Amino acid sequence: MEDFAIKKAEFVTSVGLGGAYPQKEGVEIAVVGKSNVGKSSLINSLCNNFKLARISASPGKTRLINFFRLNGAFYLVDLPGYGFAKAPKTEKEKWGQLMEGYLSMGRVSHIFMLLDIRHAPTEDDKQMFRWIIYYGVPFTLVATKSDKLSRSKRQNAANAAAKLLGAPPAALAYSSETAEGRDELIRRIGAIVSDAGALGQDAPNTLLT
């Protein structure tokens, strides 16, 4: 069997609170994490297109759900970052409504939840993880910015972050700068897509953690 690869990636649309979502296509993998954790950088790294997802100079600025179509067959979805202290209360409330509305639709096949490998998960991270569990969405934990730690400390730090989150102590160490973890995460995407096809449905039933 040919190894899975991301051969094509294109921006489709952005959706705000009350906006219309694009028609569901195959599996839908969402990327979520706090502001400045590196979501856009990870998406660009995965797709080998560093102009695909716009990286804001102002953390917490993005308040839209961005849809990218991969290989013309399924969506990779960039969810707005959370936990930005300077965001007005009204903006935080809109973010919560947008996220709960999206997660409750049942269209999400899998979530890549990003954690900063250098820091313990925040209360906002823990709340996001509780939402993922509540809505029953399969997930993979990804510890970003792994290049900021020495190689010998990376995997232990990634696993420790997962444990502190309240999840099984296993996370993928990832660096958008060096591409560490990229091949493994692409294999995860391939497995999600393949499993969904084998089951004859949009989403796999098993957790990949």
157-190, pLDDT tens digit by residue?
A: 999 999 999 999 999 999 999 999 999 999 999 9
Judge whether 1 lies within some domain. no
pLDDT, one tens digit per residue, over 114-147 is 999 999 999 999 999 999 999 999 999 999 999 9
Report the domain count for the chain.
Answer: 1
Determine the structural domain holding residue 134 and report its residue range: 9-199
Judge whether 206 lies within some domain. no
**Which pTM was predicted?**
0.89
Judge whether 70 lies within some domain. yes
- CATH number, domain at 100? 3.40.50.300
Interior CA angle at 154 toward 149 and 160, to 5°?
115
Judge whether 207 lies within some domain. no
Q: What is the pLDDT of residue 206?
A: 34
Judge whether 25 lies within some domain. yes
Cα four-point dihedral sign 58, 61, 64, 65: positive
pLDDT at 108 over 70: yes
- Using pLDDT thresholds of 50, 70 and 90, give the confidence band for residue 85: low
Q: How far apart are CA 122 and CA 128, in angstroms?
A: 10
Judge whether 138 lies within some domain. yes
H or E stretch at 112 = strand 110-116
- Using pLDDT thresholds of 50, 70 and 90, give the confidence band for residue 209: very low
- Using pLDDT thresholds of 50, 70 and 90, give the confidence band for residue 60: very low
- Non-local (6+) Cβ contacts of 142 within 8 A are 42, 112, 113, 114, 115, 171, 172, 174, 181, 185
CB-neighbour burial class of residue 23 (10 A; exposed 0-12, middle 13-18, buried 19+) = exposed
Judge whether 114 lies within some domain. yes
Q: What is the pLDDT of residue 92?
A: 80
Q: What is the pLDDT of residue 89?
A: 79
Q: What is the pLDDT of residue 198?
A: 60
Cα four-point dihedral sign 205, 65, 23, 131: positive
Q: Strands 110-116 and 74-78: what pairing?
A: unpaired
Judge whether 137 lies within some domain. yes
